[in-house]
Amino acid sequence: QSVLTQPPSVSGAPGQRVTISCTGSSSNIGAGYDVNWYQQLPGTAPKLLIYGNNNRPSGVPDRFSGSKSGTSASLAITGLQAEDEADYYCQSYDSSLRVGVFGGGTKLAVL
């Protein structure tokens, strides 16, 4: 059971907008720690997609955006493309556990 809770799956048609939620608690997201998001394409290593809640590394399309409020964070993907099919993980730091923690991952299906 992950410290950060994500929906197991989401789906959308090409061109649509989807959001993936990440719910934490007062010892991680709610304590003000940054949230990062990673994209893991099938059979590959994770890749940093969003850092510091809402910043995109160079090369990441602006179709991807992040937000944070209270004890939760969200990843939004607009203009959905087939190549976006992947697993997405949120990640933060937990002050009670004193370790970086990940969400359980969300599988995105592009219909």
Partner 1 sequence: QVQLVQSGAEVKKPGASVKVSCKTSGYTFSNYGISWVRQAPGQGLEWMGWISGYNGYTSYTQKFQGRVTLTTDTSTGTAYMELRSLRSDDTAVYYCARDPGVTTIVWRLDPWGQGTLVTVSS
Residues lying near partner 1 in the complex (CB under 8 A) are found at 2, 33-34, 36, 38, 44-48, 51-52, 57, 89, 91-93, 97, 99-105
Using an 8 Å Cβ cutoff, are 17 and 76 in contact?
yes
Nearer to partner 1, 53 or 65 (CB): 53
Nearer to partner 1, 61 or 79 (CB): 61
CB of 23 to partner 1, least distance (A): 15
CB of 54 to partner 1, least distance (A): 13
| Close Cβ partners of 3 (under 8 Å, ≥ 6 residues apart) | 24, 25, 28, 94, 97, 101, 102
Nearer to partner 1, 13 or 98 (CB): 98
Taking residue 97's Cβ as centre, other Cβ atoms within 10 Å add up to 11
Taking residue 48's Cβ as centre, other Cβ atoms within 10 Å add up to 14
Which class for 2: exposed (0-12), middle (13-18), buried (19 or more C-beta within 10 A)?
Answer: middle
CB of 94 to partner 1, least distance (A): 10
Nearer to partner 1, 40 or 67 (CB): 40
